[in-house]
Amino acid sequence: MIKKARLIKTFIDLVKIDSPSEHEDEIAKNLLSRLKKLGAKTDTDSYGNVFGFFEGIGDPFMLNSHMDTVEPGRGIKPQIKGDRIYSDGNTILGGDAKAGLTIILEALTSLVESGKKHIPINVVFTRGEESGLFGAINLNYGKLRAKQGITFDGDDDVSNVDISSPGYDRVDVTITGRGAHAGAEPERGISAIKIASEIISKLKLGRIDFETTANIGLISGGSARNAVPETVHFKGEVRSRDRKKLEKHTRHFEDVINNTMNKYPDASVNLVLEREFNPYRFEEQHPVIDKIKKAFSELKIKPNLHETGGGSDVNIFHNHGLQSIVVGIGDYEAHTTREYVVISQMVQAAEFCEKIVLA
């Protein structure tokens, strides 16, 4: 049986362990200990991802969440207020995704206590999700038996199921012009900032269509108020749930940048366009969706199948033939100091997690 008080204690204990990206060693050690006590065969890979395996009957299934948080995520002081848990307002809470870790641990604890028959379970807790999905990218997939799974890392409650996610192209641009004194001889200079502003003004940004977006999020350059800026850097992204649209809009970025640079033969550009991950889409008749719907039906939960604009470890899993899908974990306003989790929704998610792995 899922026990609310135990779930709350686990969550409080986990969020008190600092684990910003690249600093997950302590929480990894804690999670390995918890999995061992539950009877799992535990392991790690060379990147530090955590694995646990429970023998069972039937086809193996993965339960996944990530161990890292964003900043400010050190010295978190959780505050219980009714059915919600907040931080003290000076940090994030870390519900993203320690609510996911907690849900999985509570479901496994309940399952072990009950002695009920279950399918073989691969538990995977990844590092570095927030900093660039690096845990999933560097995961040793040879340690997994499962080909399908659930990733507990979504917004809202567990009924929120992400059936589609965009692909992502990273855009890094460095423009080099020619520096000069802005008051004495501006004519000798070539302003990198001016070129960058011309490029950015021509780019189609924001909401392109219902499944495609583009953004320039960072820009830096120049050396002094009275100097024609020689160098500028800007970084952006293109996302789309349609691979052809993703490729088309990334080409638009490339064309605008190159065509603008042709007007400035004495300036140069270093352009990096890199595919971080591909889009994925589940059809409603997919076996994982069917499995989720069956568990929801037994728990009287109405599924909310929707398309998201964000990426997750799941995008990388799909590149390796691992058909996982993201569900909600009762976490809200993630990545802000206003973040909170809803306890009753975490309990419901743990009930779902236990149900989905019963034999």
Spatial contact of 12 and 79, defined as CB atoms under 8 Å apart: no
Q: Please, what's the largest Cα pairwise distance for the chain? A: 82
Handedness of CA 140, 141, 144, 150 (dihedral sign): positive
Identify the pLDDT of residue 131: 93
Contact of 205 with 215, CB cutoff 8 Å: yes
pTM above 0.85, yes or no: yes
Active site residue 129: yes
Query: CA dihedral defined by 331, 334, 338, 342, rounded to 10 degrees?
Result: 0
Q: Start-end ranges of CATH 3.40.630.10 in the chain? A: 4-165+279-356
Residue in 24, 129, 153, 157 annotated catalytic: 129
Residue 339: CA atoms inside 13 Å, Cβ hemisphere, count?
28
Which residue is associated with the tokens 């855009």? 171
The CATH H-level (homologous superfamily) assignment of domain 4-165+279-356 is Zn peptidases (3.40.630.10)
pLDDT of residue 183: 96
* Distance in angstroms (rounded) separating the CA atoms of residues 168 and 238: 6
Pairing mode, if any, of strands 61-66 and 212-221?
Answer: unpaired
Residue 268 neighbours by CB distance under 10 Å:
13
pLDDT for position 284:
84
How wide is the angle at C-alpha 292 spanned by C-alphas 288 and 294, nearest 5°? 115
Radius of gyration (C-alpha) of the chain in whole angstroms: 23
State the span(s) of the chain assigned CATH 3.30.70.360: 167-277
Which of 24, 45, 68, 162 is an active site residue?
Answer: 68
Is CATH 3.30.70.360 the classification given to domain 167-277? yes
List average pLDDT for each run of 10 residues in the chain, which is 359 residues long: 98 98 98 98 98 97 98 98 98 98 98 97 98 96 97 95 96 98 97 98 98 98 97 98 98 98 98 95 92 97 94 94 97 97 98 97
